Amino acid sequence: MHYPFSDPRPVPGLDPEVDRLRRLLNDLEQIQAGHHPGKGDLSKAPTIDSWCIAERRTIALAGVVTDHPTIPNGRPVCTSDLWFIAPSLGYARTLSRLYALGNRHHLSDRWDFQ
């Protein structure tokens, strides 16, 4: 995110970005400490099905989403920046939110990670 700004006054317009990054940091610190999302967390998270790693200017996930708070079920999506992925634990954390991982797209096998 780039905000051109030329003077030292406060920038309250950054509040949503700061809040989003703070939530991401909290989740990453929990993961770092070994506290991975549980079934309850994943049941509240949107599920991304037929997913694969996608490239934009950064790495993201692409797939079909269900139970997203603002995107209709069954719609193809490309997520915000991918920050953490744990396929064996069934989740990914993007800049914006936690995703439960559904089935992996069959063409995504070129990405060798577990």
Residue 91 resides in a domain: yes
Residue 1 resides in a domain: no
Residue 99 resides in a domain: yes
Residue 69 resides in a domain: yes
Residue 75 or residue 109, greater confidence: 75
Count of structural domains, the chain: 1
Q: Which residue has the tokens 């708070």?
A: 69
The band of 2, judged by pLDDT with boundaries at 50, 70 and 90, is very low
Question: Residue 41: phi, psi to the nearest 5?
Answer: -65, -45
Residue 2 resides in a domain: no
What distance in Å separates the CA atoms of residue 67 and residue 72, rounded to the nearest whole number? Answer: 8
Residue 7 resides in a domain: no
Q: What is the pLDDT of residue 108?
A: 60
Residue 90 resides in a domain: yes
Domain that holds residue 40: 12-110
Question: Over the stretch 17-74, which tens digit does the pLDDT of each residue have?
Answer: 889 999 999 999 999 999 999 999 999 999 999 999 988 788 899 999 999 999 999 9
Measure Cα distances from 12 to 2, 23, 25, 44, 109 in Å.
Answer: 15, 18, 20, 30, 43
